[in-house]
Structure 1
Amino acid sequence: MTDRISLGSYLTVSISDDKTVAYLQFSKEDDKFKCTIEELEQFIQHQRVKYGIDRNILQQIADHPERFYIARTPVAYGQKPIDGVDGQIEVLLKVSDDKNLKDSETSQEKVDHKEVNNLNNVRKGQIIAKRTAPEPGENGTSVTGEVIAFKPGKDVKFKAGKNVIVNGEQTALYAALDGMITITEKKKINVFPIYEVNGDVDYSIGNIDFVGSVIIRGNVLSGFRVKAAGDIRVIGGVEGAELDAEGSIDISSGIIGYNKGYVKAGHNVKSSFIQEGHVTAGEDVIVSQSIMHSNIRAGRNVICNGTKGLIVGGNIQAGEKVIARTVGNSMSTVTGIEVGVVPTLRNELADLRNQLKLQIDHSEKTEKALNLLNLLASQGQLTPDRVAMRVKLNVTQKSQINELSQTKERILEIEKSLEDTNKARVDIIRTIYGGSKIVIGRYTRFVKDTSERVSFYYTDGDISMIPYV
């Protein structure tokens, strides 16, 4: 019989990184090798494997070792932990009418925008959302017999905004008045009344800065500003004006920007066309007809696939997808399409890097001052004023270290998200002309020849072009 010590010259035991599988592998082949199941079990136990040993496979190895010479063989299985379930906030009422938005892109029928049907109306006392508490998980066991702790479910709390009430049990959120539900960019749930303008935003009205949602049953003329904590709906058009909404913006006619002013929304921007405009949306920009010589920034998608669905000139930037019928034109007008980048994160990253430089500079100055005071303290030369300064600087230094750590963590988090191009895609339903430029993440592809019905996506360090399905 082969003793345990000699088994070590034939066999090795390895354990997976998560400690839930143990493997046995022959380090050399020998036709004279023999052992019993008991010897194998004692051997792997001596290698710290205590739990989940598969005696059936050990018996097979003992009976026919030659069958297991090449590959490593699992001989013990632990129990993986079952992670807890995160708590959830479920919004019970319809907060956006995305179906109607998408249907209107492909429909030739005119919509009566005078009927405010999709502005998320709610009655006083009506339940808006409910909260589900997190569920606990279950610990696992490693092959070494140790407990593998489960990841607990995260709790979640209501982000209560204006005119809403949370019950005492923190399980339900209700409207405090009749109005319209709006979820802002920071996911706060609000109920706002609606402000309506029965005509144009011009000198007779002036600029608008409203805590709720705004409906304008006319045009917003050049040079004027409309700001809303909720949504903005313009039944007419927008001409070189500034529109800023924490919710969504819906413009029935279109945007003629004259390369001045802007349209900015926390969620979606919908318009029939955009010409020489600057448009930013936290989520989607939805255009039914055309985007001409404009700068568009969408946190998620830019969709221009209506009857015309044309994008020519300017620069289109989306966090995930750009979908258009036609990009560019026969005159090879330079048209930039960039996906896989969240514009707000790009700006935040630049700000954080500048902030980090200042924080490091302040931290170094604090450290130099402390070093000097510590030197004086070691020589017994600290006056009462300097003792107080030393205490204050120690507190300041701890705060600076914490701020530096938080800034670095956020920078790493954003950099990691910018590398994720799995969802990034450009879909061309009809034609893309030469002169167009496709950028996905950090990679660029110049389109030289006209192509029909294609999609662009990132794979293996390059941008690939495939038939559009």
Structure 2
Amino acid sequence: MSMTLALEDYIDITFSEHKLHAYLHFVKYDESFGCTFEQLESFVRSHEVRFGVLTKVLQEIASNPVAFKQGATMIAEGKPSVSGEDGYIRMLIKSGEQEQRPLEHEDGTVDLKQVKNLDNILKGQRIAQRIPARPGIAGIDVTGEPLKSKDGKEARFKIGKNVVVDQDGNFMYATIDGLIARTDREKINVFPVYEVNGDVDYRTGNIDFVGTIVIRGNVLTGFTVKASGDIRVYGGVEGALIEALGSVEVTGGIIAGNKGLVKAGHNVKCSFIQEANVSAFNDVLVTQSILHSHIRAGKQVACNGTKGLIVGGIIQAGERVSARTIGNTMSTATVLEVGVQPDLRNELTQLRSNLRTSIDGLEKTEKALRLLDQLASTGQLTGEKLGLRIKLNSTKKQVVQEQTEIRDRIFEIEKMLEDTTTARVDVFNVIYGGSKIVIGRNTRFVKDASKRVTFRLSEGDIVMNAYQ
């Protein structure tokens, strides 16, 4: 009986998932077992193990087999594949998101004279750079076969108004002088700026501007300010209607007396909100407090400053509500809803209908093109029809590109709507009785005060855990 056959009786080789590791284990063991390193090595190779063999381990097994008779011993290690890094867009210019704050005195008042000049951008200036994705690096399993790797995902510029991208798609430039503003779904725009050097009142009247609006004073009750870029108010906002396709930033607070509405296509940032209606496509970010207000955010409502207090009203967010303190000792009814995304549901319906219309349109275009192609093949394409054919081909290209974007967005929304696992309420300090937590279709009433907790959905129930 040859030794290899005898080895077959004593030991066996198994592989881990994807054959990244090979293990040797004894199927039986008795004192008579013995083998040389060379015999062991050729046994291992006869079992397809060809890469990353741990020679030292094989030498140890051959010289002292009894030490290895229990359990499995790793005798070869492959090289795992490395996923590529995703590409991203790097901003080369500060956008309004990092706007410097005015000087705040110890008593909480704000010196508006200290507000710096705006970060205006000039026509032709570079705004952003596309950093390409990196390819993955393939690995090798212990049998010497390559292990596939995943390449990084390329980033795409989200192109808004008054910006262009160079031919290679690497840089974005401004086509006018103005301020950078991000609007729905992170589109980058440059908008002209309209400045008001005081309050919005009877002297200025209502404002509706196709760019970004900067107000160096307050916006009084009953007035309307609308912008297709950002709206920045360096004073406070009363019961006014403020509507921006970009972000709304209010240095002072919003005290609305349950009148008016502040609505942003991106984020709303301010120091405090009282008796107001506020709605943002992405985030509502507040430093001090939210009192008796109705707040809606597609992603998150965060009230995480030194005070970080939410009391009364209804706070609704697609993904997360976070605050230092929620409710008060008087058990004021405070409702926190997460996982509610009515805006996304509406957008999904709209996108599906747009896609159907687009597909119908594309069919008509393709039919017309087929006819023109037939004419071309028989040499009957006259000047006018030639022009039409060029135009239809360019339309077709554009529609196909649009459809890809619509499908990507539908997929993105469906994923967001399915994923209620991320929906959560985080309390950094204390939540009081009288608070009500709603996640998706589930409700939980908070009866007693609890410190540093997180509420999330687990197996159909809202559970409360210690905040990590």
**TM-score of the alignment, normalized to the shorter chain, above 0.5:** yes
Residue number in structure 2 paired with 1:142: 141
Query: Given the superposition, is the C-alpha separation of residues 406 and 85 from structure 1 closer, same or farther in structure 2, using an over 3 Å criterion?
Result: closer
Give RMSD over aligned pairs: 4.2
> 2:30 and 2:352 mapped to 1: Cα distance?
62
Once the two structures are overlaid, the 10-residue window that deviates more, 437-446 or 235-244, is 437-446
Quote how far apart the aligned CAs of 1:77 are: 1.3
Residue number in structure 2 paired with 1:25: 25
Asked if the contact 2:287/2:307 (under 8 Å) is kept, the reply is: no
Q: Write out per-residue CA displacement over residues 3-25 of structure 1, whole angstroms, 9 at most, x where no aligned residue.
A: 44454443332222233211222
1:359-438 mapped onto 2 (5 Å cutoff): 410=412, 413-414=415-416, 417-420=419-422, 424=424, 426-429=426-429, 431-438=430-437
Asked if the contact 2:321/2:336 (under 8 Å) is kept, the reply is: no
Count of residue correspondences: 419
Q: Write out per-residue CA displacement over residues 205-247 of structure 1, whole angstroms, 9 at most, x where no aligned residue.
A: 676543311234442534x654322211233423163524323
Quote how far apart the aligned CAs of 1:248 are: 3.3
Query: Given the superposition, is the C-alpha separation of residues 197 and 404 from structure 1 closer, same or farther in structure 2, using an over 3 Å criterion?
Result: closer
Residue number in structure 1 paired with 2:171: 172
Once the two structures are overlaid, the 10-residue window that deviates more, 198-207 or 159-168, is 198-207
TM score, norm. by length of structure 2: 0.73
Query: Given the superposition, is the C-alpha separation of residues 415 and 70 from structure 1 closer, same or farther in structure 2, using an over 3 Å criterion?
Result: farther
> 2:71 and 2:345 mapped to 1: Cα distance?
47
Query: Given the superposition, is the C-alpha separation of residues 406 and 158 from structure 1 closer, same or farther in structure 2, using an over 3 Å criterion?
Result: closer
> 2:193 and 2:99 mapped to 1: Cα distance?
22
1:181-200 mapped onto 2 (5 Å cutoff): 181-197=180-196
Asked if the contact 2:262/2:279 (under 8 Å) is kept, the reply is: yes
Query: Given the superposition, is the C-alpha separation of residues 48 and 92 from structure 1 closer, same or farther in structure 2, using an over 3 Å criterion?
Result: same
The yes-or-no answer on 1:153 pairing with 2:152 is yes
Quote how far apart the aligned CAs of 1:275 are: 0.9
> 1:253 and 1:169 mapped to 2: Cα distance?
44
Query: Given the superposition, is the C-alpha separation of residues 180 and 114 from structure 1 closer, same or farther in structure 2, using an over 3 Å criterion?
Result: farther
Residue number in structure 2 paired with 1:295: 295
Residue number in structure 1 paired with 2:335: 336
Q: What is the letter of the counterpart of residue 148 of structure 1?
A: L
SS in 1 for 2:42: helix
Quote how far apart the aligned CAs of 1:434 are: 1.0
1:115-126 mapped onto 2 (5 Å cutoff): 117=116, 119-126=118-125
Percent of residue pairs identical: 33
Residue number in structure 1 paired with 2:231: 232
Query: Given the superposition, is the C-alpha separation of residues 308 and 417 from structure 1 closer, same or farther in structure 2, using an over 3 Å criterion?
Result: closer
1:73-88 mapped onto 2 (5 Å cutoff): 73-88=73-88
> 1:179 and 1:96 mapped to 2: Cα distance?
11
Asked if the contact 2:254/2:276 (under 8 Å) is kept, the reply is: no
> 1:93 and 1:58 mapped to 2: Cα distance?
59
Q: What is the letter of the counterpart of residue 82 of structure 1?
A: V
Query: Given the superposition, is the C-alpha separation of residues 116 and 128 from structure 1 closer, same or farther in structure 2, using an over 3 Å criterion?
Result: farther
Q: What is the letter of the counterpart of residue 433 of structure 1?
A: Y
Q: Write out per-residue CA displacement over residues 323-371 of structure 1, whole angstroms, 9 at most, x where no aligned residue.
A: 23x32233322212345x4x54x653586589989x99xxxxxxxxxxx
Asked if the contact 2:103/2:114 (under 8 Å) is kept, the reply is: no
Quote how far apart the aligned CAs of 1:181 are: 1.1
> 1:6 and 1:409 mapped to 2: Cα distance?
58
> 2:140 and 2:177 mapped to 1: Cα distance?
54
Query: Given the superposition, is the C-alpha separation of residues 158 and 200 from structure 1 closer, same or farther in structure 2, using an over 3 Å criterion?
Result: same
Residue number in structure 1 paired with 2:362: none
Q: What is the letter of the counterpart of residue 420 of structure 1?
A: T
SS in 2 for 1:18: helix
The yes-or-no answer on 1:348 pairing with 2:344 is yes
Asked if the contact 1:24/1:73 (under 8 Å) is kept, the reply is: yes
TM score, norm. by length of structure 1: 0.73
The yes-or-no answer on 1:15 pairing with 2:15 is yes
Quote how far apart the aligned CAs of 1:263 are: 2.5
> 1:459 and 1:28 mapped to 2: Cα distance?
50
Asked if the contact 2:191/2:229 (under 8 Å) is kept, the reply is: yes
SS in 1 for 2:90: strand
Asked if the contact 2:165/2:171 (under 8 Å) is kept, the reply is: yes
> 1:273 and 1:32 mapped to 2: Cα distance?
83
Quote how far apart the aligned CAs of 1:407 are: 9.2
Q: What is the letter of the counterpart of residue 142 of structure 1?
A: D
Quote how far apart the aligned CAs of 1:439 are: 5.3
Q: What is the letter of the counterpart of residue 447 of structure 1?
A: V
> 2:103 and 2:197 mapped to 1: Cα distance?
27
Q: Write out per-residue CA displacement over residues 240-290 of structure 1, whole angstroms, 9 at most, x where no aligned residue.
A: 635243233326341426276452341233253231424335124215243
